[in-house]
Amino acid sequence: MYDETLILDKEIKDSFQVKKLTQSVFGEADVISVTYNRVLIIHEGKGTLIIDDNEFDIEGSEVFVISKGQVFSFSYQTKWSGFEISFGDCFWERAPSSASNCKLLLFNDAALHQRLSLKEKDFYELNAICEILLKESISNDYPNKLDAMAAYLKILMIKLANAAPAFQESLDDFDNQIYRRFLELVNKQYNQMHDVSYYADQLMVTPRKLSEISKKKSGKGAKEIIAGQVIAESKRQLQFSAKTIKEIAYQLSFSTPEQFSHFFKKQTNTSPLDYRKIFVNIGR
């Protein structure tokens, strides 16, 4: 659980940054509210990475994908080596459009692909791309330098996406197209629309078909994916904002605070008020 102060991502030049870390040790780290998408490529390390309220033991030879809107922190004395890549949407727009499917899969519901364990060959290839990105980022400016870095970022996304279980089939497969578009719609509209039927209508498939595709691609039904997005945002608001439960309920398009509380308790086995109290009492 988090017990530190929430801080926003620091602004980065050109909405892109690549850092190489060597045995970096994290002390009393603050919780970061992510405004830039992040990829952590961890060569080796020891400790814990906390994303939203999920804890991951760092083992090495792995990749973590953190999407904007999520929050993360490292446990005290966590140590790791590798690369940290951060990028905003305006930088991503420089990347060729053919890579967009890869980004959608990895970041539109990052919780499904939060941690990727890679084969040695794949990890070696990723590391080489990161080294090139680092070299480009610190080199003198030249015409189209940002476009060149965006192209390397595209290659990185393609490599990562192919390591994700849901991406093993052809990109042109009908089910994959529906699934990726579904994730994109949910990411944009989960705070307004909660019904599977709405998304099915937008995608011109039946609710049953959409749930079947979702289950096949992620192991979760369409309803579960929508609920997961709503719950993740609810938890962030309860932990890190001073908004009342009523305000959160209406922000997430619930008809009444009672309806929101019932939904939250059904999904988490605790009420919104009790969930918030956990964090209010930390450190006392």
15: containing domain:
6-165
Quick one: pLDDT at residue 277? 83
pLDDT score for 32: 87
Q: Do 129 and 260 lie in a common domain?
A: no
The answer to whether residues 110 and 24 belong to one domain is yes
User: Which residues make beta-bridge pairs with 122?
Assistant: none
- Predicted confidence at residue 241, as pLDDT, reads 85
- Helices (H), ranges, 241-271: 245-251, 257-268
Question: Is residue 215 one of the residues assigned to a domain?
Answer: yes
Nearest-angstrom CA–CA distance, 159 and 162: 5
Task: Tell me how far CA of residue 233 lies from CA of 110, 115, 248, 249, in angstroms.
Answer: 13, 20, 9, 11
Mark whether 13 and 152 lie in a shared domain: yes
- Residue ending a domain, among 137, 165, 193, is 165
Instruction: Note whether 156 and 181 are same-domain residues.
Output: no
Same domain, 183 and 232: yes
CATH number of the domain where residue 275 is located: 1.10.10.60
Residues 144 and 199 in one domain: no
Looking at the structure of the chain, the number of domains it has is 2
CATH number at residue 16: 2.60.120.280
Domain boundary among 165, 192, 223: 165
Give the residue from 198, 272, 213, 266 showing the smallest Cα distance to 238.
Answer: 272
Q: Does 156 share its domain with 186?
A: no
Beta strand pairing call for 31-33 and 71-74: antiparallel
Assess if residue 62 is contained within a domain: yes
Q: Pick from 73, 74, 71, 45: which is nearest to 58 by CA? A: 45
For residue 38, is it within any domain?
A: yes
Q: What is the pLDDT of residue 55?
A: 92
How confident is the model at residue 261, as a pLDDT?
96
> 3-state class of 87 per DSSP?
strand
Check whether residue 60 and residue 150 sit in a common domain. Answer: yes
User: What is residue 281's predicted lDDT score, i.e. its pLDDT?
Assistant: 53
User: Does any domain span residue 68?
Assistant: yes
In this prediction, residue 283 carries a pLDDT of: 40
In what helix (H) or strand (E) does residue 66 lie, and over which residues does it extend?
A: strand 62-66
Shared-domain flag, residues 43 and 182: no
Reference 40, options 76, 68, 64, 60; nearest CA is 64
pLDDT digits (tens, 9 = 90+) for 130-182: 999 999 999 999 988 999 999 999 999 888 887 765 555 544 577 878 888 89
Q: Are residues 38 and 143 in the same domain?
A: yes
Buried b (16+ CB within 10 A) or exposed e, 6-15: eeeeeeeeeb
The whole-angstrom separation of Cα 197 and Cα 214 is 14
State how far the Cα of 26 lies from the Cα of 21, in Å rounded to an integer: 11
pLDDT of res. 165: 58
Q: Does the predicted model carry a pTM greater than 0.85?
A: no
Q: Are residues 66 and 158 in the same domain?
A: yes
Q: Look at residue 1 and tell me if it is in a domain.
A: no
Is 29 inside a domain boundary?
yes
Q: Block means of pLDDT (10 residues each) for the chain, length 284 residues?
A: 64 92 80 90 93 89 89 91 93 77 73 79 88 94 91 90 60 75 89 95 94 88 93 87 93 95 94 83 44
Query: CA–CA distance from 282 to each of 5, 44, 162, 276, 279 (Å)?
Result: 12, 31, 40, 10, 5
pLDDT of the residue at 280: 58
Domain boundary among 108, 132, 165: 165
Q: Are 4 and 72 in contact (CB under 8 A)?
A: no
One domain, residues 229 and 189:
yes
